[in-house]
Amino acid sequence: MGDKLTNEQAKEIANAFVQAYYNFFDNGPRENLSHFYVPDSETSQMAFEGNLVKGQQAIVEKLKNLSFQKVSRMVTAVDTQTTVENGIMIQIIGRLQTDNDPAHSFTQSFYLRNSNNTWFILNESFRLLVHNI
């Protein structure tokens, strides 16, 4: 993708990405998420609830081994920005319920880069918004 990415293009790509990613995550098997991450040792990184995981295999292993099976999700906002290097920054806000646990708000961010007309996750961060006040 040599041309500069427009904000509208970034929004279309981001919305399609979010729909596909959550479909694989929520409906499993989570091993299928591997194709979203850069297929090498440590290029992709994910911070999940503050714990950093590096590399496609380690990230997929982390996601596969999450303790819950059933996921119900409602996305309320998807914000996008283009980056200097023609990447896409995505910020998601929503509500998430796993198994029979209570629903919680969550936020998730992705930084996507294009390689040979395929978008990969370089950086990802996920947090449940649980306040212990």
CATH number, domain with residue 29: 3.10.450.50
> What DSSP state is assigned to residue 130?
-
Rounded to two decimals, the pTM is: 0.91
User: pLDDT tier at 1 (50, 70, 90 boundaries)?
Assistant: very low
Q: pLDDT digit string (tens) for 100-129? A: 999 999 999 999 999 888 999 999 999 999
Is 2 inside a domain boundary?
no
CA 90 to CA 15: how far, in whole Å? 9
Q: What is the predicted pLDDT for the residue at 3?
A: 81
For residue 100, give its domain range.
7-128
Is 66 inside a domain boundary?
yes
Is 79 inside a domain boundary?
yes
* Total tally of structural domains belonging to the chain: 1
Is 93 inside a domain boundary?
yes
- Residue by residue, DSSP assigns 59-119 as HHHHHHT-S---EEEEEEEEEEEE-TTS-EEEEEEEEEEETTSPPEEEEEEEEEEEETTEE
Is 57 inside a domain boundary?
yes
